């Protein structure tokens, strides 16, 4: 049975932050693996009908995850995550960005800073994410363009629902 | 020029102004005291906030008070909703993946 845990999603626009918290029905080590090993990440990171395809992943401080989100029509967006600080089974931080297939960041694309924390609970694991916009500039751009990724994906899901 | 709420909150001074008047209506002078910039600079920000309807002005005796309009902020919450949905979907998929790992 799949646990249907409640998602907490809160916005702190004054401080340019978004918080996402959710509990999972699995031990910390397993949840950590699901977030930090590309073979598992590829299975869930993109909301269906989108797919995640990892091009390369080097999960260590200073390393990078280069991947693409592939849409149902074959459309492809490349993204990267530059890992900063990693504390195994506890937390890690990274900067994300849109890029081309070789990982060259788009000049005018905004960066977001991610902090992902894992905590064991009686039942399983709580994952808390804090996404902050790195600068005024990027905050403004994110606002202008929308959370592009989120929107594209959410619309993709809508298509799927409508097709049923 | 038509402005929208996103333009309004993209500026840090304007976000600070909104935080202040969300707590209580304020006069231009009281508001200016919270900032290092000139009264004119603050007025300019207020003008933007008024144009996008996040701030309303009300005359009380000889003073003008700036009020916060929370209804307009809902536009931002609505706009963020698909992003929330993305996380719902993503995490339900993660549940399924974790469940598979467990059964292996």
Q: What is the pTM of this model?
A: 0.72
**pLDDT tens for each residue of A151-160:** 455 444 444 4
The pLDDT mean for chain A works out to: 81
CA A160 to chain centre: 21
Q: Does A55 touch chain B (CB under 8 A)?
A: no
Give mean pLDDT, residues B25-46: 91
Pairwise CB contact (< 8 Å): A20 & B93? no
Predicted confidence (pLDDT) per residue in A25-64, tens digit: 899 999 999 999 999 999 999 888 888 999 999 999 999 9
With beta carbons under 8 A apart, name residues in chain B contacting A156. Answer: none
The predicted-structure confidence for A112-154, as pLDDT tens digits, reads as follows 899 999 999 988 899 999 988 766 666 666 655 555 555 455 4
What ipTM goes with this model? Answer: 0.74
**Res. A65 pLDDT band, cuts 50 70 90:** very high
Across the interface, whether the CB atoms of B97 and A43 are under 8 A apart is answered: yes
- A163 and chain B: CB distance < 8 Å anywhere? no
């Amino acid at each position: 049975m799949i646990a249907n845990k409640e998602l907490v999603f809160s916005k702190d626009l004054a401080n340019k932050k978004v918080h996402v918290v959710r509990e999972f029905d699995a031990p910390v080590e397993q949840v950590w693996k699901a977030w930090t090993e590309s073979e598992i990440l590829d299975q869930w990171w993109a909301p269906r009908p989108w797919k995640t395809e990892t091009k390369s992943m080097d999960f260590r401080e200073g390393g990078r995850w280069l991947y693409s989100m592939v849409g149902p029509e074959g459309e492809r967006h490349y993204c990267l995550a530059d890992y900063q600080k990693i504390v195994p089974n506890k937390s890690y931080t990274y900067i994300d960005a849109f890029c081309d297939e070789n990982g060259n960041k788009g000049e005018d694309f905004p960066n977001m800073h991610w902090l992902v924390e894992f905590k064991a609970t009686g039942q399983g694991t709580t994952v808390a994410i804090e996404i902050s916009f790195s600068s005024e500039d990027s905050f403004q751009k994110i606002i202008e363009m929308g959370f592009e990724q989120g929107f594209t994906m959410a619309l993709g899901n809508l298509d799927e629902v409508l097709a049923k | 020029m038509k402005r929208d709420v996103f333009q309004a909150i993209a500026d840090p001074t304007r976000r600070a102004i909104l935080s202040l008047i969300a707590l209580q209506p304020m006069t231009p002078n009281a508001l200016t005291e919270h900032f290092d910039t000139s009264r004119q600079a603050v007025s300019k920000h207020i003008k933007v906030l008024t144009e996008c309807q996040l701030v309303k002005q009300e005359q009380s005796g000889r003073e003008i008070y700036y009020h916060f309009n929370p209804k307009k902020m809902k536009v931002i919450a609505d706009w963020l909703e698909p992003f929330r949905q993305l996380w719902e979907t993503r995490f339900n998929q993660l549940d399924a993946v974790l469940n598979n790992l467990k059964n292996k």
